[in-house]
Amino acid sequence: MAIRTGNGANPKKKVYLISSLRKPEVPEIANKIRKLGFIVFDDWFAAGPEADDKWRDYEKARGRTYQEALQGLAADHVYQFDLKHLNECDIAVLCLPTGKSGHLELGYVIGQGKRGYILLDNPERWDVMYKFAHGVFHKFKELKAELEKLKNEPA
């Protein structure tokens, strides 16, 4: 879903940057992608590195199970916020390390027929199912070259 900016003549593609709340490099990576001419969604990072832990602790203090907490207003708010931007994005980049949610988000985007990429952190373990992604990269400059190609393709 390319987003029209300025006078509406130049649609910019939106990249959803997926990673861990505990990865301090997220804003730096997002800014590098912005400099390539993309709109980048990384606002989820503002919640801070302990957001999921604080949510869990709060729900446990209320006596809720994990399943009950997932049905709560806080979980639904975060889910709907992220889902809106997953639906709007043209491209997703999964930046490792990240957890199960990040992998679900990337799978959701790819399942919608959108481009999905993985930026690795030199893992000891290799995963064959990363073949679902449109590209797997070890260095940002490799990802950058791919994004440069996509920037001007029709949405």
Domain boundaries, the chain: 3-47+88-151
pLDDT for 122 equals 80
CA dist list (Å): 36 to 41, 60, 73: 14, 43, 37
pTM for this model (two decimals):
0.90
pLDDT at 15: 98
Find all residues with CB under 8 Å of 66, minimum gap 6, and list them. 56, 59
pLDDT at position 11? 80
pLDDT at 134: 98
Query: What's the CATH class of domain 3-47+88-151?
Result: alpha beta
Q: Where are the alpha helices (DSSP H) in 35-139?
A: 51-61, 66-70, 73-88, 100-111
- CA-CA distance, 29 to 132, in Å (whole number)? 22
Q: What is the pLDDT of residue 72?
A: 97
Grouped pLDDT means (10 residues each) for the chain, 155 residues: 52 95 96 98 93 96 98 97 98 95 98 98 87 97 97 79
Token representation of residue 104: 């679900």
Q: How many Cα atoms sit within 13 Å of 135 on the Cβ side?
A: 20
The residue type at 137: F
The predicted structure's pLDDT at residue 115: 98
Residue 27 CA to residue 90 CA, distance in Å, equals 19
